[in-house]
Amino acid sequence: MTKIVGVTACIAGIAHTYMAKANLEKFARKEGIKIHVESQGSMGIENKLSQEEIDEADLVIFAVDTSVTDRDRFSKKEVLEVGTNQVIKDGKKVINDASEMIEDIKNN
Amino acid sequence: MVHNSKISDFISTDNIIVGMNAVSREDAIKQLSNILQKNGVVNDAVAFNQDVLAREKQSTTGIGNNIAIPHGKSASVTIPSFIFAKNNSLLEWDSLDGSQVDIIFLMAIQEKDERNEHLEMLANISSRLMDDQFVENIKKENDPQRLLKIFTKN
């Protein structure tokens, strides 16, 4: 099963962070992809990813409008970075792009 | 559901406006800022209004589907809360999908982040806006009491 981990973060840390998280989960589920999304919002880091989950993931998605806290955790990973609005506008496309990236990684 | 603070503890029909008559995005934000002041959520509607407009300038809050979620992180906010409004006409909002807006969630957030149940409530509502069924329900319903029920159902 394909595994993706994600981080969402926006400027105010209240609305877009959580909408982007919800949409990543919604569209990954539709594609049968296992996903775990950490939110970095005004309530701090929630649903924190374990290093093991990060290491095992086929791809990392950053849906962020600001910097990712503890970005070092992802230094060895391929990352698809988008803005939160892209995920909110068309979550299906972001998940499809992620799937294509994963295919490319596997074929190389 | 990760965020399951009881929304019913914080909101009432005071948070819900049906049949607003705003003529523009700016007018809607101004009218709703005044209501937030009346509700005791902000102590300076003018300052709050300016902070919300400043956020609008950064990038649109029109998330598509005729919905906008303007929000202000502002020193004028005394308690994190929101106001939900349905406008009688569609308003231009530079939305992500190009749609005009008649459903507005104006969120009021304090400048200082502090984890609390009010923020959880706003995060919860934000996530639910990605749920097609939730959106359909709030679009169909025009009775404030029943809208309140939709928001407080977890």
Out of A26-40, A57-71, B16-30, B68-82, least confident range: B68-82
**Closest residue by Cα to residue B51 from B98, B89, B106:** B106
- B105-120: per-residue pLDDT in tens? 999 998 886 767 888 8
Tell me what pLDDT residue B119 has: 87
Selecting among A4, A9, A10, A95, the annotated active-site residue is A10
Closest CA to A24 of A1, A44, A52, A4: A4
Task: Identify which of A14, A39, A85 has the shortest CB distance to residue B109.
Answer: A14
**Cα torsion angle, B144, B66, A41, B31, sign:** negative
Contacts of B64 in chain A (CB under 8 A): 88-89
pTM above 0.90, yes or no: yes
Which of B9-13, B16-20, B58-62, B148-152 shows the highest mean pLDDT? Answer: B16-20
Q: Please state the rounded mean pLDDT for residues A57-73.
A: 97
- Residues of chain A with Cβ-Cβ distance to B130 below 8 Å are 19, 22-23, 26, 88, 91
Task: For chain A, list residues whose CB is within 8 angstroms of any CB belonging to chain B.
Answer: 11-19, 21-23, 26, 39, 41-44, 46-47, 65, 85, 88-89, 91
**Cβ B71–A44 below 8 Å, yes or no?**
no
Confidence band, pLDDT 50/70/90 cuts, at residue B1: very low
Quote ipTM for the complex: 0.89
Q: State the Cα–Cα distance between residues B55 and B44, nearest whole angstrom.
A: 17
Q: What is the DSSP letter of B77?
A: B
Q: What is the pLDDT of residue B2?
A: 47
Q: At A100, is the secondary structure helix, strand, or coil? A: helix
pLDDT tens for each residue of B36-59: 999 999 999 999 999 999 999 988
- Cα–Cα distances (Å) from A22 to A101, B75, B123, in that order, read 21, 29, 10
Work out how many CB contacts closer than 8 A connect A with B: 73
**A9 classed as catalytic:** no
Q: Distance from CA of residue B97 to its chain's centroid? A: 19
**Strand locations in chain A (E):** 3-9, 34-41, 44-46, 59-64, 79-82
Chain B residues within 8 A of A39 when measuring between CB atoms: 123
